[in-house]
Structure 1
Amino acid sequence: MKRLLTMFTLVGVVGVLGLSTSVLASQFAIVGGKVHTLTGQGTLAEATVLIKDGKVEQIIAGSKSPRGYERIDAAGKVVTPGFIGAYTALGLVEVGFSAGQVDASTTNHPVTTIGAAVDVSYGINADSTLIPITRMEGFTTAVTGIESSDYLFKGQGAVIQLMDNDPLLKARAFMALSVNNASASDTGGTRGTLWVALKQALSEAEYAIDTDLSPTQPWYGMISRADAKALGHVVQGHQPLLIKADRKADLLHIIALKEAFSNLNVAIISGSDAWRVADQLAAANIPVIVNPEYNLPGAFDTLGATLANAGRLDKAGVKVAIGIETHNIRLATQHAGNAVANGMSYDAALASLTKNVAEIFGIDQQVGSLAPGMRADVVVWSGDPLEVTEAAEHVFIAGEPIKMQSRQTLLRDRYLNLKQDKPMVYTRP
């Protein structure tokens, strides 16, 4: 009886103070690790990261832990911001070539004539089995969008946080399209048609900014009303325009496009030949999202592919992010490590998975670095996160530790611990 009274008394005190048990549990001190802040504070050889109410409260040198915080020993370990998948299909697809809905592709529909109006945020599935697999590897945020489309544009992508509930961090975060060979084939069979159609679409969107696009008013544009509204954010620079391109000629056209539409906020995806025009890209302030593993000419678009691409772009002053156009973005840490082996600086490689991605997509006031007031997406690594032999040991998203568990680990544990006293069909984990 005394124990019950004590428990109820404690609950009452918590209630009077306006606190909850979840709030009390959300104060953490990650103590004594090597902390990469990705800010002006730089890298601290030994520091403590304080997390409170879902935010980074403070980063202090040394290994002292204040009272009232749950202590996590990070001595000899590495602490980074949560990594950000720069371009993925996470939450939109489970297995691309299997039965079931694949929300990472789109086909023709009357609501749009060029695909710009497509909004992937409606297709995001918080229950995707791929999300836990990815966040266990230190990725806490992902940029997700359409992989394949019959349209000129791949529609508007989203930024998601890799949580179990309410993953959408930023809807309509960017507009995407491709100007490679395959896209030219789908748009009149030639780049001569594709580029004319692209410029016409952007021009109509500019015109439509001050136009009544309601159904009661006539509209004679090549693009639909819905497309014009969507592209209005692009031509005003409010929404990044991601253009997949590889060959030098296309990259130069993109630079010219930004000059023609001066408000465009352009970023390039892939960019196999980007190193050949690195100085022009830097001068135009056009970032590149690269897969640094591309090193073979898989098509005439990619004859200039090289493992040195990311490093050369970084040295030229181009903002580089590392991304893989797939749901398997967790492998990007290995790719970043290989980029370092081929000339990219270590700090630039870390930035390519964190701060640079956040800046490209306009979420750098929330994620991508460790500083007071930033969302507490924090990862404690066993060692160097760019080494394949090291792993994430603790992952925090918005200040809460995630379960280091996925469907894969559950299956592993199930079949490693089978009971032998029953036939296999009656055995449960």
Structure 2
Amino acid sequence: MTALTLAPATVAARAANAFPRPRVGRLTRRLGVAVAALAAALAPAVPAMAQSVAITNARVVTLSDAGTLANATVVIEGRRITAVGANVSIPRDATVIDAGGGWVTPGLFAPAGRLGTVEVGAVDGTRDDQVSGEAAGFSAAFKVSYGVNPRATAIPVSRTEGVTRAAVTPVPGDSLFGGQAALIHLRPAADAVFKDSVAMVVSLGEAGARRTGGSRGAAMGALIRALQAADTIGPLDLTQRWDGPIPRADAEALAPVVRGEIPLMVQVHRASDITQTLKLIERFERLRLILHGAAEGWMVADRIVRAGVPVILDPTANLPASFDRLGATQRNAARLIEAGVTVAFVPAGSDSHLPHLIRQSAGNAVANGVAWEEAFKAISLNPARIYGVERELGALDRGKLADVVVWDGDPLEVRTNPTHVFIEGVATPMTSRQMKLHARYSDLDGAPPFAYRRPE
């Protein structure tokens, strides 16, 4: 077996060495380096091979029936976890990583956001997170997965902060429906999507009312008519004209929602709007719901529990940002979890570039009454449960995919950093564009990079 310990300083050193400075006067060599770098940037991402790894001397947060284990070992063979415990056999060919008493957890799972679909928010040409239903002729049929860029600069930023999976949720444009969400992994690869059409996004409440003439009643009525049309749609018959209240493509996309095959993710905040949303289950018996936002969810926690509906929320939201959120409080998450609701956390701020801040949100939730393990479930196991992938992800247990993060301390403390991130057993690069830029320009007293030297 091979011993390996990778300290944060080593990671920083590798980042600092990412941009070697070319020698002046070696034009041919510089051109060769430039061409090689360009070819590497344009070449398809080749996935690294999984290997046998044993992470020893760790505080292991399993989120399984085993609980949290002291001085334990996690064994990875290929893509999966093969052993977790204090006295486990380590394969002879395994690379051994001594955690040095640090923490080992499942990879973080961002439950909603636009990671990989927005490069520059102010530049429309770099945004693939929404569609104009009027211009496209459909909205519910929109699949955000087609626009996910696995090379988006924001992905390595979140990966180096411990995020291994994320749900990409489209934003409603000029229609109630945003479209169909997808799940992505953050491993370097040519395609990041590993599960498509995991939820149908729709906006109600104040935002939905704006899209349907200014009335909440109109928004709910439009949603009900759309679901009814989907419930009655039959096989495509080109000899007959479609006269439904929504485009046929949207009705076909909504049919699996009505059948309960895909959950309806409803963006809603006000308690009364949540109550009306939950009533949809009475009308459409197979309908599955996810509440996204739910700033006033604590007011109707008992109804949410009885309906068996999970909630995705920002646990730090405590300001009346709109009349939908007059009851916002940082105790929202604690009250919902105490009532028995399955809760997952999103970060405050940008959901396209900062999904890694979910662990800071989880830490704030702990400060406001959420138990530590429940807070960590909200950024790992619970998102996996919400999207039906908990058999493979969200916990450290034998047989699960090896999304594993090694930390140098408590992961819910903002000063803690990951030292190793494994996604499906593959050790991922601990660098990002920001790290490389920092390494390039942090030495202001030294010689500047070649391109920034003044001609003599």
TM-score computed with the length of structure 2 as normaliser: 0.85
Out of 128, 138, 141, which is 2:152 matched to? 128
CA contact (8 A) 2:292 2:312 kept: yes
Give the letter for the 2:287 counterpart. L
Residue 235 (structure 2) pairs with residue 212 (structure 1): yes
Sequence identity, in percent?
41
Cα offset for 1:40? 1.4
Give 1:197-346 correspondences, 5 Å limit: 197-208=222-233, 211-324=234-347, 325-346=351-372
In structure 2, distance between residues paired with 1:326 and 1:244: 17
In structure 2, distance between residues paired with 1:53 and 1:175: 34
In structure 2, distance between residues paired with 1:31 and 1:282: 40
| SS of residue paired to 1:39 | coil
| SS of residue paired to 2:282 | helix
Cα offset for 1:222? 0.7
Q: Which moved more, 1:417-426 or 1:150-159?
A: 417-426
Counterpart residue number, 1:412: 438
| SS of residue paired to 2:278 | helix
In structure 1, distance between residues paired with 2:74 and 2:430: 20
In structure 2, distance between residues paired with 1:200 and 1:250: 18
Per-residue CA deviation, residues 301-321 of structure 1 (Å, 9 max, x unaligned), is 000000000001000000000
Out of 188, 198, 209, which is 1:164 matched to? 188
CA contact (8 A) 1:46 1:63 kept: no
Q: Which moved more, 1:374-383 or 1:35-44?
A: 35-44
In structure 2, distance between residues paired with 1:336 and 1:319: 14
Counterpart residue number, 2:24: none
Gaps of 5+ in 2: 1-46
Out of 67, 71, 74, which is 1:42 matched to? 67
Gaps of 5+ in 1: 1-21
Cα offset for 1:66? 3.8
Give 1:88-99 correspondences, 5 Å limit: 88-98=113-123
Counterpart residue number, 2:406: 380
Residue 70 (structure 2) pairs with residue 52 (structure 1): no
| SS of residue paired to 1:103 | coil
CA contact (8 A) 1:175 1:239 kept: yes
Counterpart residue number, 1:426: 453
Q: Which moved more, 1:37-46 or 1:288-297?
A: 37-46
Cα offset for 1:422? 8.1
In structure 2, distance between residues paired with 1:214 and 1:93: 38
Cα offset for 1:424? 6.9
In structure 2, distance between residues paired with 1:382 and 1:176: 37
In structure 1, distance between residues paired with 2:443 and 2:51: 33
Q: Which moved more, 1:363-372 or 1:340-349?
A: 363-372
Give 1:328-407 correspondences, 5 Å limit: 328-407=354-433
| SS of residue paired to 1:87 | coil
Q: CA RMSD in A?
A: 1.9
Q: Which moved more, 1:346-355 or 1:103-112?
A: 103-112
In structure 1, distance between residues paired with 2:57 and 2:90: 9
CA contact (8 A) 1:366 1:375 kept: yes
Give the letter for the 1:377 counterpart. D
Q: Number of paired residues?
A: 403
